[in-house]
Amino acid sequence: MNDLVGVYGAAGCGRGILPLVRAQLAGTRTRLVFIDDGAAPGTINGHEVLGWQDFLALEAGRRFACLAIANSRVRETLAARCAEAGVALFTAHAENAVVMDDVVIAEGACLSPFVTLTSNIRIGRCFHANLYSYVEHDCVIGDFVTFAPGAKVNGNVVIEDHAYIGSGAVIRQGRPGAPLVIGRGATVGMGAVVTRDVPPGVTVVGNPAKPLIKD
């Protein structure tokens, strides 16, 4: 029986990731669909859209889901749903994404086109690295971390779980044994230049990046 892969989420993120998965599956007999309760039943970009229960009901050999949702909390919820249903997490990897030496990435990552991960890097579950983002040497990245397009993370940086790095943001390098730390659930705004640690849960913007304070 043929394997089945569902790209979970048929919104912008999923529509950018499904073609990567399709390229990875080229030449196999694996069936590829979107999973999206809000858009099912239907067809998007030539691919069938199924609700979660219909995805589980399809006859299949092995069953995988690629979590293509930018919101990290939703990804975490869906990862738990997949684990409960015995659906394995699929890693999407653009053909031209570059991964150098000693890079360990946990399950469920999405590496978009032109992503570069250099050497000696550790990355947790369900990492999203959007177009043109990079991670330099000796970084440690937690679970459910999200990089928007063009996020630039230099060497010796620690990024804790659920942090979000906005489009075009640049993170200054840390030092061996004294990394620059982006705290759990922190948000780095688009275009920010981060020169110091960002505390957990804080949003920073600007150059040099400072906490975003709303009136």
Asked if residue 65 lies in contact with residue 35, where contact means CB atoms within 8 angstroms, the answer is yes
Longest dimension (CA), the chain: 58
DSSP secondary-structure letter at 198? B
Stretch that binds ligand COA, among 43-51, 92-100, 135-143, 205-213 (CB under 6 A): 205-213
Q: Give 116 or 120: the residue with its C-beta nearer to ligand COA.
A: 116
Of 24, 72, 133, 187, the one binding ligand COA by CB under 6 A? 187
Q: Which run of H or of E encompasses 117?
A: strand 116-117
Q: Nearest residue by C-beta to ligand COA?
A: 189
Q: Nearest approach, Cβ of 118 to ligand COA (angstroms)?
A: 22
Binding-site string for ligand COA from residue 142 to residue 181, where x marks contact by CB under 6 A and - marks none: ------xx----------------xx--------------
Instruction: Give the CA radius of gyration of the chain.
Output: 18
Of 113, 191, 199, 200, the one binding ligand COA by CB under 6 A? 191
| Cα-based torsion angle of the residue sequence 35, 22, 126, 211 in order, rounded to the nearest 10 degrees | -90
Number of residues near ligand COA (by CB under 6 A): 14
Q: Which residues pair with 117 in a beta bridge?
A: 99, 135
Q: Tokens in use for 80?
A: 């738990």
Active-site residue set: 137
Which residues sit at the interface with ligand COA, rule CB under 6 A? Answer: 130, 148-149, 166-167, 187, 189-191, 203, 205-206, 212, 214
